[in-house]
Homo-oligomer: A and B are copies of this chain.
Amino acid sequence: MPAGELRYPSPPENSTTEISAANDEEWLWSQIKAEARRDAESEPALASYLYSTILSHSSLERSLSFHLGNKLCSSTLLSTLLYDLFLNTFASDPALRAATVSDLRAARVRDPACVSYSHCLLNYKGFLACQAHRVAHKLWTQLRRPLALALHSRISDVFAVDIHPAARIGKGILFDHATGVVIGETAVIGNNVSILHHVTLGGTGKACGDRHPKIGDGVLIGAGATILGNVKIGEDAKIGAGSVVLIDVPPRTTAVGNPARLVGGKEKPTTNEECPGESMDHTSFISEWSDYII
């Protein structure tokens, strides 16, 4: 690790290649419709659901806005209001739509249980919470904070996924299972990150400023891991399930345990493969770890 410069989360950018992003989106949408059509044919009991959520819509953004509006509404925040809000936000921001496409691909490629794009679009609470968060985040940056916080609250109630609207999240993100994820106000997450359920990116409680973790590109964070404070998790690092991390983790290394230590030792930690956030290898480091500990 010559430099240790972390490739920190790239700021969300407007796609410079909007045309190809649009093509991507179109291709994916046609896939999703084909999947939904096939499912509707084979399962009449689900056809109504598939038509209302997917097949009656003319674009991915409309389908997603409809689905989120109906999932997140309450008796005091009507589905029509939320639908409008989602649709207007997605429609006006190609970068948001490109992130949606990346996230769908991430789930499809990385999660063996993800049988189709439409399955993710309809059923993955992590995916849905993340898309709704992106809208809340956009509202936050537009200083529409009370609305962003109300949306945040609905996401936390409905999906048990609690991402502060100020948190910045890259694209190609997989929140797998997702229940219990908590991500604090000043957290930043890079691209191509995979985060399992019950993961906390929490604050230190001491200060009001920048107090939450920064997660580099390609990181994999195992189930139940708790990362606290303004620490840096370097690119392509891995955090073992159930770890409690209070220290920086260099790029391409693995931290495990409570409190977490680096696999291979602080001085010469073992180096990971490329992008564990994509390969999703949770356990190949078991033997090393066991050796290390016992």
The interface of chain A, by Cβ under 8 A from chain B, is 39-40, 42-53, 55-56, 62, 66-67, 69-71, 73-81, 83-85, 110, 112-113, 115, 119, 122-125, 144-147, 149-150, 152-153, 156-160, 162, 164, 177, 179-180, 182, 184-185, 196-198, 200, 202-208, 211, 220, 222-224, 226, 228-229, 240-244, 246-247, 256-259, 261, 279-284, 286, 289-290, 293-294
Across the interface, do A80 and B79 meet the contact criterion of CB distance under 8 Å? Answer: yes
Within the complex, which residue of B152, B198, B261 is in contact with A180, where a contact is CB–CB below 8 Å? B198
CA distance A164 to B112 in the complex (A): 12
> In the bound complex, how far is the Cα of B229 from the Cα of A282, in angstroms?
9
A117 to chain B, nearest CB (A): 13
What is the minimal beta-carbon distance from A59 to any residue of chain B, in angstroms? Answer: 12
Specify which chain B residues have a CB less than 8 angstroms from the CB of A206 in the assembled complex: 279-284
B146:A42 contact, CB within 8 angstroms: yes
In the complex, the answer to whether B55 meets A76 with C-beta atoms within 8 Å is no
- Taking CB as reference atom, which chain B residue is nearest A261? B294
- 14 pairs, A vs B, C-beta closer than 8 Å: A44-B55, A45-B81, A45-B85, A48-B56, A53-B76, A71-B74, A83-B83, A156-B177, A157-B159, A198-B198, A205-B279, A205-B281, A226-B242, A242-B243
- Complex Cα distance, B286 from A220, in Å, reads 23
The answer to whether B43 touches A51, judged by C-beta atoms less than 8 angstroms apart, is no
Question: 8 nearest interchain CB pairs?
Answer: A205-B280, A123-B153, A48-B52, A48-B51, A47-B51, A242-B244, A39-B146, A112-B208
Contact assessment for A241 and B224 in the assembled complex, using a CB-CB cutoff below 8 Å: no
Cα(A141)–Cα(B122), bound, Å: 21
B180:A153 contact, CB within 8 angstroms = no
CA distance A124 to B124 in the complex (A): 24
A294 to B267, CA, bound (A): 14
- Residues in B neighbouring A162, C-beta threshold 8 A: 177, 179, 197
| A44 surroundings in chain B (CB, below 8 A) | 51, 55-56
Measured CB to CB, the closest approach of chain B to A292, in angstroms, equals 10
Name the B residues within 8 Å of A73 (CB-CB): 75
- Which B residues are CB-close (under 8 A) to A279? 205-206
- Which residue of B40, B124, B164, B282 contacts A205 across the interface (Cβ within 8 Å)? B282
CB distance from A161 to the nearest CB of B (A): 8
- Answer whether A47 and B42 are a contact pair too, CB < 8 Å, given A74-B71, A79-B79: no
A202 touches B198 (CB 8 A): no
> Shortest Cβ distance from A53 into chain B, in angstroms?
6
Expressed in whole angstroms, the minimum distance between the Cβ of A111 and any Cβ of chain B is 9
**Do A185 and B113 have beta carbons less than 8 Å apart?**
yes
A174 to chain B, nearest CB (A): 10
